[in-house]
Amino acid sequence: MKVTNMDIVVLYDTTLRDGTQGENINFTAGEKLEIAHRLDDLGIHYIEGGWPGSNPRDMRFFELAKRETFKTAKITAFGATRKPGIPPEKDENLQTLIEADTPVVTIFGKSWDLHVEKVMANTLEENREMISESVAYLRARGRQVIYDAEHFFDGYKDNPDYAMQTLFAAIEGGSDALVLCDTNGGTLPFEIRSIIKEVKQELTDRFPDLMGSARIGIGIHTHNDSGVAVANALEAVNQGARMVQGTINGYGERCGNADLTTIIPILSLKMGFSCISTRNLSHLKKLSRFVSETANIVPANGQPFVGKSAFAHKGGIHVSAVIKEPRAYEHFSPDLVGNKRRVLVSDLSGKSNIEYKAGEMGVALGTSGFNSREIVARVKDLEEQGYQFDVADGSFKILLEKLTKQFNPVFTLESFRVTMEKDKNQACSAHATVKISVNGKKEITAAEGDGPVSALDNALRKALGNFYPNLDHMHLVDFRVRVIDGREGTAARVRVFIQSRDQNEVWSTVGVSTDIIEASWQALEDSFQYKLSNKPDGH
């Protein structure tokens, strides 16, 4: 589809407000400011910074934002209409919105008569006046006003006449945009389609000179309680909505909000709408990861477009085809959103997987006569024993190097000893002694830890630190143990995954044994070998 000026969709991000209502998400004012700048760099048009009347942190954010310059985005304050029986000039919420000193204010009002009469114990007419007067008050003070019609779709299904009356009130008050909200997340795409068609027709009939002008446009705000928040937002755009509200990574209350990291590439590259530049689109995955890191939430591997697994291929037939023609198994080029293709190695792999991964990792095949078919057979044998290389690239690279006789260990284990101590008055304590050899030089160190693996990690790190002083950049970020077959009871074989990271990358390693300490050592040793062989100076 050819993009024209009529095909612009405005992006409205509410990660800093609606997103923080998700479980375990809490940003400081400084973190919110950092995220706001990243959103601005991406090209987001509106950034909803929070509700200044609800907490000191949000007010602090707006104080900080006043001193900042944003290239594209307009910082937006969020709040409610005036309270029943209180004039706008005396309503504390409206006053704090003014004090936030943002160019744009978004206020929400009730569209569902159920909420007005049974939850708020208000009258329908008073609620309508609250909407109109609040919008007019903010407009008179020089603010662009976006009106969020809360619970609009549920309200429209119960009482369409009154739901429309609330929109009329916002327009009469001077609202610049009407955002239809699926607050409970229960509306389905076909309902979105029919309701927006009817709403547009009613608005055009009542305000023929106003609808379609620069001032009034329809927006959409969806929640994911039925798993269709993105589909609902896209259907709304298909029906004429030109503002989409959502959050990065879909963070939000209950099941979350519409995920902008999915919506943006679809709008831009599949539906032909203009929202952000192609150059900025290539930074989408970085933004997604930055927000997840700041929120201290592990990124979802299966997230469309920006997830680690979004362009991962495992089956040998798939890999063979995608190497020849990526479109055969990819609907989208990963580099457009800053992601990359990943080929996984497992017992489902063929020689195409091995050859692709070896090239990706810079390991030359054939130098020792050990060809890709033999490597496939060896990988399948190891996976039968319990190894899993599709999620342990670090260990797989080391395995490739060993099989092709290219492995040059940075250190060699001479021995290790781990002891545990427990008495009735104290918690368990762990102590490890490690003896290694680096370039012919022996090093023996001991360390304590919160458990046996922690003690081993500390002892090995301490020993290697005498040769590689910058290992403090490397951190263990995940440690997982899986029982491969529990029928053997305490003698069962276990698989240990370790995920490590430095300032540049994340890598995973695996170990398998009937002894959990031995399996942990295998994964731990591979992790340090991978880090130090890739970056010999320890940086």
Tell me the DSSP string of 344-394.
--STT--HHHHHHHHHHHT--SSTTS--HHHHHHHHHHHHHHT--GGG-HH
Residue 188 DSSP class: -
Q: Is 405 exposed, middle or buried (0-12, 13-18, 19+ CB in 10 A)?
A: exposed
Boundaries of every domain in the chain: 5-276, 412-534
Return the CATH superfamily for domain 5-276.
Aldolase class I (3.20.20.70)
Whether the predicted pLDDT of 429 surpasses 80: yes
* Structure confidence by residue, pLDDT tens digits, 131-158: 999 999 999 999 999 999 999 999 999 9
- Cα gap 269→267, rounded to integer Å: 6
Whether the predicted pLDDT of 86 surpasses 80: yes
Mutual angle of helices 516-534 and 393-403, in 10-degree steps: 80
- Cα gap 308→285, rounded to integer Å: 9
pLDDT at 104: 97
What's the predicted TM-score (pTM) here?
A: 0.73
Of 58-67, 319-328, 516-525, the range with the lowest mean pLDDT is 319-328
pLDDT at 3: 40
Tell me the DSSP string of 387-423.
--GGG-HHHHHHHHHHHTT----S-EEEEEEEEEE--
* Structure confidence by residue, pLDDT tens digits, 187-233: 999 999 999 999 999 999 998 877 666 577 899 999 999 999 999 99
**Mean pLDDT for all residues in the chain:** 88
Distances in Å between the Cα of 336 and the Cα atoms of 108, 233, 272, 301, 323 are: 36, 22, 15, 18, 18
Whether the predicted pLDDT of 79 surpasses 50: yes
HSE at residue 341, side-chain half, CA atoms within 13 A, is 19
Return the CATH superfamily for domain 412-534.
Alpha-isopropylmalate synthase LeuA, regulatory domain (3.30.160.270)
